[in-house]
Amino acid sequence: MIRKNAIATGFLFSAVFSLGACGNDDQVTDTVTEDAVDYEGVEDANPGGGLEDENIGGEVYGFTEFELEVEYTDPEEKLKVSYEEDRDLVEAEYEDSSAEEMLSGNNAFDKIEPFLAQLELTPDMSDEDVINKVTEVFDLAPDYESLEIDVTYADGTDKEYESSGN
């Protein structure tokens, strides 16, 4: 009986360790610094990635979360962008269904970082200014059916912006 318990316990620990080894595909493991504004590819990569202590809390882009979802009249066309800082952890996703491009983690960050660096959004901007800036920076086709933007600014302000039927 003791031998069976030891074997069962061994399997249990193996399963727990296997699950713990599974990573988050959306996690950005390359360091995100204020130098990212002058982005020229992956720099200062380290296995831990995320944000350096002095950049935690939206110091790089002025926000800790940015989500963009654009839908067009053609159901095959959709754009989704997601960037999220959680303490020093950064997650990024990018999906462009018209180009059949789905990226996460470092690849998504590499794709969206040049756009994030150009946004320069602030909580006191009008809804129209934010929508115009995002459509300009991401070079969105004007015939979208709906556009939704969610931003959590560095000061903790959460704002949602919506536009439809251009």
DSSP 45: B
Instruction: Return the structure tokens found at 84.
Output: 């999220």
pLDDT in tens, 32-82: 555 544 433 333 333 345 555 555 556 678 888 999 999 998 878 899 999
Query: Cβ of 3: how many Cβ atoms within 10 Å?
Result: 7
This model's pTM is above 0.85: no
State the Cα–Cα distance between residues 161 and 66, nearest whole angstrom: 11
Domain-by-domain residue ranges, the chain? 27-164
State the Cα–Cα distance between residues 40 and 46, nearest whole angstrom: 17
pLDDT in tens, 81-120: 999 987 667 889 999 998 889 999 889 988 999 999 899 9
